[in-house]
Amino acid sequence: MKPAIILLTIIFISCTARRMPLAGNGVQGKEAALAGKKAYQQYCDKCHPGGEAGLGPALNNNPAPGFLKRFQVRHGLGAMPAFDASVVSPEDLDHIMAYLKAKRREPALPR
C-alpha cells in the first residue's frame, strides 16, 4: 500500500512540475516571441496570416500540444509543406512556438 502511494505522489509531482524554460540561444519570453514573429512572418504568415486561418487553419486557437505542431512543421501535411532544420532552424522553431503561445486566444468551443 505505502509504496503505491509514494509512487503516485512522484508521478503527480513530475506531471505538475513546471516545464523547462525555452531552449535556444538564451532568448526567452517576450524576446523569443519577437524573434518568432519575424520567423513566422517569413515562413508561416502567407498561409496562417497573423495566426488566423488563411489557406491553413487558425493556429491561435489550436489546443494541440507543442510537439505535434513542431512535428507538422518538420514533416508537413496535405497542402502544408515540410520545413526542415536547414530552412527553419531549431532556434527559429522554438521562437515560432513562443510567438504562437503569445498569440494564443481562447480555444474554439467544440462544435
**Binding site residues, ligand HEC, CB under 6 A:** 43-44, 46-48, 55-57, 59, 62, 69, 72-73, 77-81, 83, 88, 96
CB of 110 to ligand HEC, least distance (A): 13
Cα–Cα distance, 79 to 55 (Å, whole number)? 9
* Residue number with CB closer to ligand HEC (7 or 87): 87
Phi-psi region of 63 (alpha: psi -120 to 50; beta: other; left: phi over 0): alpha
Alpha carbons within 13 A on the beta-carbon side of 31 = 8
CB of 13 to ligand HEC, least distance (A): 30
Q: For residue 83, how many other CB atoms are within 10 A of its CB?
A: 20
Q: Which of helix, strand or coil describes residue 98?
A: helix
* Residue number with CB closer to ligand HEC (11 or 85): 85
Nearest to 88 by CA among 70, 65, 63: 70
CB of 31 to ligand HEC, least distance (A): 19
Residues 6 or more apart in contact with residue 17 via CB below 8 angstroms: none
CB of 109 to ligand HEC, least distance (A): 15
* Residue number with CB closer to ligand HEC (27 or 100): 100
* Residue number with CB closer to ligand HEC (32 or 73): 73
